[in-house]
Amino acid sequence: MTDATQNQWAMRDPLTQYARPPFPRQPMDAPGTTDQMTPAPNHGETSYKGLGRMEGRKALITGGDSGIGRATAIAYMREGAEVAINYLQEEASDVEGLKKLFEAEGKTLHTFPGDLTEEGFCTSLVKDAAGALGGLDVLVINAGKQTAQESIFDITTEQFDRTYKTNCYAMFWLAKAAIPLMPKGAAIITTTSIQGSKPSANLLDYASTKWAIIGFTKSLAKQMTERGIRVNGVAPGPVWTPLQPSGGQPQDVIENFGDEVPYGRPAQPAELAPAYVYLATQESGYVTGEVIGVTGGNPTA
């Protein structure tokens, strides 16, 4: 496995760049935390080098404590942005580690714990984050709920409702609150999944939300054109995050997680962050209504 401290520009074999299965079983209670995972996920802590592409930008990231959100927060900070994150209180230990990383680099991480399944919280989150940041230029809607169930008969109405509220309702509430605060040139970035176009049998509720996110992203992008706000999405394949061993997949899948894709391994969160940087910056100024697949070789269409 390639040394994770190498900067992201060094040429490497993508098949062996990061850990490959098999992985040990590691059951944990949802939502799970990074420090419980073996091997430890790579969020770019020592490898991501910024170029100042987000100087002056103000970004809010949901689910910013771990996984893709954490890697994006680190990348945005190193690109010069002011960053705020949302997370669940149960994930506070991950947040403390991230805050220390920011502070060690002379930066401030603005943190807002709370439950995105509540409309009132989503509305106040956007308002409070914009107040703390001094504005809002980038909204990354990333937090998600995933619980594997073998049959539709195993999915309770409570699970179905919470999955949709976390993955879809919150997206609607957050975007609706953020848009009036965002200037021309701002960006909204959603997180869908390859599951949206190629669903697994055991992720019925999750996969259907990810399909809905694609439609929401493309439709909202058309509405926002005249406002000068770009709306795009990222569609990850399998990514090594706490979402997976904390109920997102059964433990027998965790042992071989990612081996089904052409690369034969899951992505590390650090491999997703550059897509979120691209979609937040002027480098993607002519891109809206698109979904970038980061899937290890599995096309999204």
Residue positions annotated with a catalytic role: 206
HSE toward the beta carbon, residue 119, CA cutoff 13 A: 4
- Local structure of 45: helix, strand or coil: coil
In contact, 189 and 234? CB cutoff 8 Å: yes
- Local structure of 26: helix, strand or coil: coil
Q: How far apart are CA 90 and CA 222, in angstroms?
A: 37
Torsion of CA 22, 294, 198, 160, to 10 degrees: 80
Torsion of CA 234, 236, 240, 244, to 10 degrees: 100
Instruction: At 119, give phi and psi (nearest 5°).
Output: -60, -45
